[in-house]
């Protein structure tokens, strides 16, 4: 079974546009769960352009499924995660001003940092996932940090899907098999959508979770949140 974690960053973007509390992201998170989401993902960025630090605290008690916090492990971020203690933290190597995530970690180059962070998060009882590309040696290095999971950066898959979906998915199949062999769970995300998700899920083994935000929230404008979540769940049906 592959879980669907709904990333609600873009709901917060809309809310922030007017500086008030519409849409209410706590209500949206609760409704996502009600409509079948297996988890909620947020990616607080240093400029608080969408999810704010206060949102992370407010969301903690109301999320009944899995709470996944993604982000760059700055001092502030580490403190936030160790206080809030979500179900999972996903470490992403984004520069503070990044438009969006655009690459996974170079794990060998950051092995000490990542190993120390895994220890800190484990001491707080938080499952730890490392955002990576499909390079096999890099994934083996992720296992050496003691991390529980990797999250595969799926933009390269999404970009190539239209022209050659078999070619697009192949490195992800190999990466997921290598991660599983190394004892890691496998998450995936970035630019997954109703177009490309079913094929990814059918072909990539050992897929624990996908986190999806941008496309899902855009689809909800046309289909409504309930129908949208239902369609994404159908793409993940075994």
Ligand X SMILES: CC(=O)[C@@H](O)[C@H](O)COP(=O)(O)O
Which residue numbers are catalytic? Answer: 43, 70, 190
Distance between CA 97 and CA 112 in Å, rounded?
A: 24
**DSSP letter for each residue of 133-194:** -S-HHHHHHHHHTT-SEEEEE-HHHHHHHTT-HHHHHHHHHHHHHHHHHTT-EEEEESS--T
41 binds ligand LD2JLWAY (CB under 6 A): yes
Residue whose C-beta lies closest to ligand LD2JLWAY:
189
Least distance from C-beta 102 to ligand X, angstroms?
Answer: 8
x/- mask, ligand LD2JLWAY, residues 191-220, rule CB under 6 A, reads: xx------------------xxxxx-----
Q: Would you call the peptide bond into 23 cis, given omega within 30 degrees of 0 as the criterion?
A: yes
Angle (deg, nearest 10), helices 53-62 and 25-34: 40
Q: Is 61 exposed, middle or buried, given 0-12, 13-18 or 19+ CB atoms closer than 10 A?
A: exposed
Least distance from C-beta 44 to ligand LD2JLWAY, angstroms?
Answer: 12
Site for ligand X in 189-208 (CB under 6 A): 189-190
Least distance from C-beta 11 to ligand LD2JLWAY, angstroms?
Answer: 11
Q: Is 174 exposed, middle or buried, given 0-12, 13-18 or 19+ CB atoms closer than 10 A?
A: middle
Contact with ligand X (CB under 6 A): which of 33, 55, 66, 70?
Answer: 70
149 binds ligand X (CB under 6 A): no
142 binds ligand X (CB under 6 A): no
| Residues in Cβ contact with 90 at an 8 Å cutoff, skipping those fewer than 6 apart | 41, 68, 69, 70, 71, 129, 130, 131, 151, 187, 211
With CB under 5 to 8 Å by kind, the binding choice for 212 among ligand X, ligand LD2JLWAY, none is ligand LD2JLWAY
164 binds ligand X (CB under 6 A): no
Q: Among residues 119 and 132, whose Cβ is nearest to ligand LD2JLWAY?
A: 132
101 binds ligand X (CB under 6 A): yes
With CB under 5 to 8 Å by kind, the binding choice for 191 among ligand X, ligand LD2JLWAY, none is ligand LD2JLWAY
42 Ramachandran zone, left/alpha/beta (phi>0; psi -120 to 50): beta
Q: Backbone phi, then psi, for 185, in 5-degree steps? A: -75, 160
Least distance from C-beta 156 to ligand LD2JLWAY, angstroms?
Answer: 13
Footprint of ligand LD2JLWAY (CB under 6 A): 7, 41, 70, 151, 189-192, 211-215
């Amino acid at each position: 079974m592959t879980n669907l974690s709904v990333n609600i960053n873009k709901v917060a973007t809309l809310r922030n546009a007017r500086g008030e509390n519409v849409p209410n992201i706590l209500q949206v998170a609760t409704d996502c769960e009600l409509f079948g989401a297996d988890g909620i993902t947020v990616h607080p960025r240093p400029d608080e352009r969408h999810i704010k630090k206060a949102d992370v605290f407010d969301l903690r008690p109301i999320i009944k499924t899995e709470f996944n916090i993604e982000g760059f492990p700055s001092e502030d971020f580490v403190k936030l995660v160790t206080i809030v203690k979500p179900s999972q933290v996903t470490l992403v190597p984004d520069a503070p001003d990044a438009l969006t995530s655009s690459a996974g970690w170079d794990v060998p180059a950051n092995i000490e940092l990542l190993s120390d962070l895994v220890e800190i998060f484990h001491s707080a009882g938080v499952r730890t996932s490392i955002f990576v590309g499909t390079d096999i040696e890099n994934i083996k290095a992720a296992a050496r940090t003691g991390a529980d999971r990797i999250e595969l950066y799926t933009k390269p898959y999404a970009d190539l899907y239209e022209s050659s979906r078999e070619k697009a998915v192949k490195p992800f199949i190999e990466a997921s098999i290598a991660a599983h062999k190394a004892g890691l769970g496998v998450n995936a995300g970035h630019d997954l959508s109703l177009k490309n998700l079913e094929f990814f899920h059918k072909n990539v083994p050992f897929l624990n979770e996908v986190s999806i935000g941008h496309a899902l929230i855009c689809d909800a404008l046309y289909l409504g949140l309930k129908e949208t979540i239902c369609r994404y769940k159908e793409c993940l049906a075994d």
